[in-house]
A and B are shown apart, each in its own frame.
Chain A
Amino acid sequence: MKIRDIHISLKYKIAIFISLLIFILFFLTNYIILKRERNMLYENLIVKGNSQINNFALYCENAFLTGDELNIEDYVTVLIKAKEVKHVYIVLKNLTYFLNNDQTLLGRRYSSPEKTGENPKENYNIVKREREVLFQFYKPIYQINREGKRVFLGMGYIELTTNIIKIQLNQIKLRLSFIVIFLLTAGVIGAFMLSYLITDPLKKLVKGISIIAKGNLKYKIRIHSKDEIEGLALEFNRMTTQLATYQKRLIKQKMVEQELQIAKNIQSEIIPEHLKEIKNFDLFSFHRTSRAIGGDYHNIFPINKNENLLIIADVSGKGVPASLLMSMFHTIIITLKKDYHRPILLMKEINNIMSLFLKKGNFITVLIAHLNSKTGRIKMISAGHEYPALIDMKKKQFTFLTFGGIPVGLFNRAEFESKLKINEHLLLKESMLIFYTDGLRNIQKMPMNNKNLASFFKSLIKTSGSSHKFRKALLEKTEMKRYNDDITIVGIRRT
């Protein structure tokens, strides 16, 4: 069923219900009014009949006393003129008419009408004559004889028609019908208006909801019915506003995500997925960011046929700020190409330039390794970076190469430069150097200190027989983790 059908039927239901109530009310009222009117009319008729028969009997008695019997006929003529009076007559003891408004019946035998009802308490019968219901009032009429005694002459009758009541009732009915038709029409119109008043806000609400459901979250439902429906509409509007805010936020978030994806693509151009191959060295690398982009950096720059420069760095913090500084760091390194063969000078230059941009406690730890593929000599210089791990697979030995240096951007130039120190190392065949960022310390439940990290490396050496297996195991252990920190690992093995 469509929503539209539901609210239309509701409107009609309410209207029909109210109309029905009005109908019942009016008919009940009419019935009561008519009944009362009818009773009143009948009562009036009885009162009238009683008084007429009493007067008639008295008049007759007086007329006989004064000898004006002829006046009785005049009296009857007057009586019969009244609308309701149908018959006036006197029936003698021998059941012949003594007097009748219908002169033709005089002297004839009294033909008794069909009795349909009798009220013993009252002096009247309800009779039917020629299909007409009549109230027959009766009273004995006396005559004073010569001895002055009251002698029963006969029974006096006055018959009143009930047709007049029927006509009067019909007139009342007609009048009432007009009133009822008028009031019913007004009532039905009123019922429809009332149902409209009730259903219109609902209709607006349903319409509004359907507009909002189609995605127009700016739409406001305007209902001023000052009732629960207005309250409902207000709540709905509030919900829609919240939804719109949420949607806006979602769109913004989507945009940010898209922008981050673009930034990620740019960053992936800076950080190589696979390192350049170097003669006599086997290299591998692993790089993951905790967010779309991060502050870890590593790269290899060829200097000449035998010399290469490996740089690994970690910008403090995470996400966009760290990645911006990282991009800047990369640009600076590219522009300092002339100093690639002089690592100390390169590091000093990096510090000089980067310090201009590193404010409020931001810093970078950097490790530069100058590799000579011919001799296997590696010159390393560190600016507070994680200690490289030296692994001898043959002897199954592990050592941290600890050397000085403070991070770029933290202290003044003189202090920074005073701590720089070249550390030279000859990488033997089948020996391996692992460079990494501090993310590696966080791949276990608790951050690893130097002792834990050493144990971690040692256990890897123990379980994997060859350098190849060691590398596989290291990357597997690292890859399994969900990253809450940027992580970079670069391994160099002399072949």
Chain B
Amino acid sequence: MKVKFKNEGSNIIVSFEDLINRQLDLSHVTDLRNRFKSTLAKKSKIITLDFGAVDYIDSAIIGFIVDSFNLIRNNEGELKIINVNRNVFEIFEMINLTKFLDIRKR
């Protein structure tokens, strides 16, 4: 898995590449936590996760996203998820994450 961070002013766009079966799951969580550590600690940033390359997620990723969301919120930042496919969007919808985060479909 490759994770790309693109800075555009206060906006940081994060995209994923080389995901096996286009799936983001428990096996990536430790890696993701390490890579996001410094980004999440920044103040007043709008972090956008581009899910263009993600078709499937599991509960561990939901946990990671909400955990990150809570951290960003404490730092007066904002978390957005864009390019979300139908499957993933339905999961976010079912747990009502769509009511807390700006989540946009593909």
Q: Does B19 contact A (CB under 8 A)?
A: no
Complex interface residues of chain B between 13 and 32 (CB less than 8 A to chain A): 26, 29
B85 to chain A, nearest CB (A): 9
> Is B64 in contact with A361, judged by CB distance below 8 angstroms?
yes
Complex interface residues of chain B between 54 and 68 (CB less than 8 A to chain A): 56, 59-60, 62-67
Identify the closest chain A residue to B89 (Cβ): A449
B101 to chain A, nearest CB (A): 11
Complex interface residues of chain A between 3 and 42 (CB less than 8 A to chain B): none
Complex interface residues of chain A between 328 and 353 (CB less than 8 A to chain B): none
B5 to chain A, nearest CB (A): 20
- Contact among B63, B87, B99 for A410, CB-based, below 8 A: B63
> Is B66 in contact with A363, judged by CB distance below 8 angstroms?
yes
- State whether A447 and B87 are in contact (beta carbons under 8 Å apart), knowing that A387-B94, A406-B96, A411-B70 are contacts in the complex: yes
Complex interface residues of chain A between 350 and 406 (CB less than 8 A to chain B): 360-363, 365, 384-387, 404-406
A3 to chain B, nearest CB (A): 49
How many A residues face the partner with a CB closer than 8 A? 26
Flag A419-454 by CB within 8 Å of B: 1 or 0 each: 100000000000000000010000000010111000
- Contact among B56, B63, B90, B96 for A363, CB-based, below 8 A: B63
Q: Does A49 contact B (CB under 8 A)?
A: no
Q: Does B97 contact A (CB under 8 A)?
A: yes
Residues of A within 8 A of B60 (CB): 316-317, 361
Residues of B within 8 A of A314 (CB): 59
Determine the main DSSP class of B at the interface with A. helix
B45 to chain A, nearest CB (A): 20
- Contact among A386, A405, A411, A450 for B100, CB-based, below 8 A: A411
Q: Does A415 contact B (CB under 8 A)?
A: yes
Q: How far is the CA of A365 from the CA of B92 in the complex (A)?
A: 13
Interface centre among A314, A410, A415 (most CB of B within 10 A): A410
Residues of A within 8 A of B26 (CB): 317-318
Q: How far is the CA of A66 from the CA of B102 in the complex (A)?
A: 157
Flag B64-106 by CB within 8 Å of A: 1 or 0 each: 1111001000000000000000110010001111011000000
Residues of A within 8 A of B96 (CB): 384, 404-406, 419
- State whether A316 and B63 are in contact (beta carbons under 8 Å apart), knowing that A415-B100, A447-B56 are contacts in the complex: yes
Flag A312-330 by CB within 8 Å of B: 1 or 0 each: 0010111000000000000
> Is B95 in contact with A406, judged by CB distance below 8 angstroms?
yes
B76 to chain A, nearest CB (A): 16
Q: How far is the CA of A352 from the CA of B96 in the complex (A)?
A: 19
Residues of B within 8 A of A451 (CB): 86
Q: Does A407 contact B (CB under 8 A)?
A: yes
- Contact among B64, B70, B95 for A407, CB-based, below 8 A: B95
Q: How far is the CA of A445 from the CA of B71 in the complex (A)?
A: 36
> Is A365 in contact with B95, judged by CB distance below 8 angstroms?
yes
Identify the closest chain B residue to A386 (Cβ): B94
Q: How far is the CA of A290 from the CA of B96 in the complex (A)?
A: 27
- State whether A411 and B63 are in contact (beta carbons under 8 Å apart), knowing that A384-B96, A404-B96 are contacts in the complex: no
> Is A410 in contact with B94, judged by CB distance below 8 angstroms?
no
B98 to chain A, nearest CB (A): 10
Residues of B within 8 A of A419 (CB): 96, 99
Identify the closest chain B residue to A360 (Cβ): B67
Q: How far is the CA of A406 from the CA of B99 in the complex (A)?
A: 10
- State whether A361 and B66 are in contact (beta carbons under 8 Å apart), knowing that A316-B59, A317-B26 are contacts in the complex: yes
Residues of A within 8 A of B59 (CB): 314, 316-317, 363, 438
Q: How far is the CA of A314 from the CA of B58 in the complex (A)?
A: 12
Residues of B within 8 A of A384 (CB): 94-96
Q: How far is the CA of A410 from the CA of B29 in the complex (A)?
A: 16
Residues of B within 8 A of A411 (CB): 66, 70, 100
B88 to chain A, nearest CB (A): 9
Q: How far is the CA of A384 from the CA of B56 in the complex (A)?
A: 18
Q: How far is the CA of A385 from the CA of B90 in the complex (A)?
A: 12
A144 to chain B, nearest CB (A): 131
- State whether A449 and B87 are in contact (beta carbons under 8 Å apart), knowing that A316-B60, A363-B62 are contacts in the complex: yes
Which A residues lie at the B interface, using CB under 8 A? Answer: 314, 316-318, 360-363, 365, 384-387, 404-407, 410-411, 415, 419, 438, 447, 449-451
**7 closest A-B pairs by CB:** A361-B63, A384-B95, A316-B59, A361-B67, A410-B66, A449-B87, A406-B96
Instruction: Beyond A316-B59, A316-B62, A384-B94, list 12 extra A-B contacts (CB 8 Å).
Output: A316-B60, A360-B63, A361-B62, A361-B64, A361-B66, A365-B95, A387-B94, A406-B95, A406-B96, A406-B99, A415-B100, A447-B56
